[in-house]
Chains A and B, each alone.
Chain A
């Protein structure tokens, strides 16, 4: 079981808005910022969002992040077929003294 909890799957049609949640605890999300990664099969994971809601250069503004208490969310608006991928949240856990990932959410564009 992952320390951070994500739904295993999410889906939407092109143009729709989809939200992926990431639930943790006071020792991780509650005390630290959250990063999000996009992972396409056969490629290296790519940073999508850092420090809760900061987009790296090159990431479209269709992607947005937020955090409240011990939960974080990644929202994708104007869904496109190329958004089909696995998405992971990650943060530092103060109790475990290590980075923790969510279990990953497989996004399907219908």
Chain B
């Protein structure tokens, strides 16, 4: 059974930094692209970032580009999100998400339960 467990969510002041972690189990972690997706209170889902299986390719939403860095450690089956210069708009539940290729298309097939980041003074 696929399991994704996020951690690291905290209350942090604007301008501060935070590192989220996601521990993966139940599948061959190195074989899959991984993502972070967030949901701000009362808002919809927003894709944040992805990292390919070997870490060589990363993409970011414009809203976090230059402030967030996604990384992974395949030896530890772990995904990370380094968040710098945090803004109040970054307040959200952050999900760790695994994708899969099926019928020549990708989709998000497994989600963690999320970790809450609150940016407030």
Contacts and interface: CB of A to CB of B under 8 A. Distances in A.
Interface of A: 2, 32-33, 35, 37, 39, 44-47, 50-51, 54, 56, 86, 88, 90, 92, 96-104
Given A44-B113, A88-B44, A88-B45, A99 B35 contact: yes
B111 interface: yes
Interface string B39-55: 00000111100100000
16 contacts: A35-B105, A37-B45, A39-B45, A44-B95, A44-B112, A46-B111, A51-B103, A54-B102, A96-B62, A98-B50, A98-B60, A98-B61, A99-B47, A100-B47, A101-B44, A101-B45
B70 to A, nearest CB: 12
Interface residues of B, number: 23
Given A44-B95, A44-B114, A47-B108, A101 B103 contact: no
Contacts of B62: 96, 98
Given A45-B95, A47-B109, A98-B47, 11 more contacts: A44-B95, A45-B45, A51-B102, A51-B104, A51-B107, A86-B44, A96-B61, A98-B50, A100-B47, A102-B44, A104-B44
Nearest to A97: B59
Nearest to A49: B107
Interface of B: 35, 44-47, 50, 59-62, 95, 102-109, 111-114
A54 B103 contact: yes
Contact of A35 (B61, B104, B107): B107
Contact of B111 (A32, A44, A99, A103): A44
B46 to A, nearest CB: 6
A18 B105 CA distance: 26
A78 B111 CA distance: 28
Most buried by A among B95, B107, B112: B107
B105 A51 contact: yes
A45 B99 CA distance: 13
Nearest to B99: A99
Given A96-B62, A98-B59, A98-B60, A47 B44 contact: no
